[in-house]
């Protein structure tokens, strides 16, 4: 017998998601009513590929130090990278500073609210722009992070996980189920994100605690496996150039003066160290002084 997917009655999901979110949402500082669009932008950039437990204290310190775009725009890249500390993917920090400069210079210090203007900011893609419009400005938009994609794939499509890359069909399906009312659509977006983060997780979903369990197309289909498993790439850490870059950045963040290459961490692989160091220089995360020493960028 063919399983009827929830996509035939997605309106049934709305009250279930909103009620669950009202009772189980986390008390996160960037979700407090009245939070500025700048604060939301900072949180969204920090949360990319970094868990909430690491982001929350960093976000609080960041917002105390740089409460608006003009404050961050006046900081040096070195100051920004040191404050970013171990959040990972430090290019995000420099892009955030570049975005702050653009907001100061092109938008009078106010985070823009249109999709086109947001997407024109350095480091702001479709997801971040939609999140700012929805969560900061209360606009109706389609917010599709990994958590939302996973919940919709299971609840509506009967798939264990969404495709590795976002598809146009997926975007159209998500658009079709976003409530028409802007305020409700914002709660729908954040409710799906929270449900995916806390219950409908990738590896160990807590279906017994899920408000959508009785109508979930994936469960009704017998919880089939991931048809895209062969296409997903794992991201190892130990021994990789990414780990090497992290070691070098940590040393330079802690350094009081520029370091000679012989003063940088040595883990027995000079070729990898030199390759990682050259990559950091090329990415603008490290600069070389006239004395051939290395430091975080000052200007």
Q: Say if 216 falls within a structural domain.
A: no
E strands of the chain, at which residues? 287-288, 294-295
Q: Say if 249 falls within a structural domain.
A: yes
Helix or strand run (H / E) with residue 294? strand 294-295
3 state SS of 175: helix
pLDDT tens, position by position, 7-28: 445 678 999 999 999 999 999 9
Mean pLDDT rounded to a whole number for the chain: 94
Whole-angstrom distance, CA of residue 133 vs CA of residue 186: 9
pLDDT tens, position by position, 163-214: 999 999 999 999 999 999 999 999 999 999 999 999 999 999 999 999 999 9
Q: Say if 3 falls within a structural domain.
A: no
Host domain of residue 252? 241-295
Whole-angstrom distance, CA of residue 105 vs CA of residue 93: 18
Helix or strand run (H / E) with residue 166? none
Residue 186 corresponds to which tokens in the numbers above? 């914002």
Q: Say if 26 falls within a structural domain.
A: no
Model-level pTM?
0.91
Q: Is 185 exposed, middle or buried (0-12, 13-18, 19+ CB in 10 A)?
A: buried
pLDDT tens, position by position, 66-81: 999 999 999 999 999 9
Q: Say if 250 falls within a structural domain.
A: yes
Residues serving a catalytic function are: 44
**230 pLDDT band (50/70/90 cuts)?**
confident
Q: Is 130 exposed, middle or buried (0-12, 13-18, 19+ CB in 10 A)?
A: buried
Q: Say if 266 falls within a structural domain.
A: yes
Whole-angstrom distance, CA of residue 86 vs CA of residue 64: 18
Q: Say if 259 falls within a structural domain.
A: yes
Q: Say if 81 falls within a structural domain.
A: no
- Structural domain count of the chain: 1
Q: Is 292 exposed, middle or buried (0-12, 13-18, 19+ CB in 10 A)?
A: exposed
**pLDDT at position 9, please?**
58
């Amino acid at each position: 017998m063919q399983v009827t997917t929830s996509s035939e009655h997605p309106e049934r999901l709305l009250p279930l998601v909103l009620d669950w979110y009202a009772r189980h949402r986390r008390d996160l500082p960037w979700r407090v009513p009245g939070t500025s669009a700048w604060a939301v932008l900072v949180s969204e950039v920090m949360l990319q590929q970094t868990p909430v437990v690491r982001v929350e204290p960093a976000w609080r310190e960041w917002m105390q130090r740089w409460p608006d775009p003009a404050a961050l725009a006046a900081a040096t890249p070195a100051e920004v990278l040191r404050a970013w500390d171990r959040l990972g993917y430090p290019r995000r920090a420099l892009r955030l500073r570049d975005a702050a400069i653009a907001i100061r210079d092109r938008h009078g210090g106010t985070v823009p609210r249109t999709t086109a203007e947001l997407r024109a900011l350095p480091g702001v893609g479709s997801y971040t722009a939609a999140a700012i419009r929805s969560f900061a400005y209360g606009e109706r938009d389609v917010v599709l992070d990994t958590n939302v994609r996973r919940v919709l794939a299971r609840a509506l499509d009967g798939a264990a996980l969404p495709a590795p890359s976002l598809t146009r069909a997926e975007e159209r399906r998500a658009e079709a189920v976003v409530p028409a009312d802007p305020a409700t659509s914002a709660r729908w977006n954040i409710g799906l994100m929270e449900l995916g983060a806390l219950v409908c997780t990738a590896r160990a979903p807590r279906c017994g605690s899920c408000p959508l369990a009785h109508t979930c197309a994936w469960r009704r289909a017998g919880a089939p496996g991931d048809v895209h498993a062969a296409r997903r790439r794992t991201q190892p850490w130990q021994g990789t150039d990414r780990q090497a870059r992290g070691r070098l950045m940590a040393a330079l963040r802690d350094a009081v003066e520029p370091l000679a290459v012989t003063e940088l961490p040595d883990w027995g692989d000079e070729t990898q160290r030199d390759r990682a160091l050259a990559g950091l220089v090329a990415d603008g995360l490290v600069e070389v002084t006239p004395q051939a020493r290395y430091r975080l960028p000052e200007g």
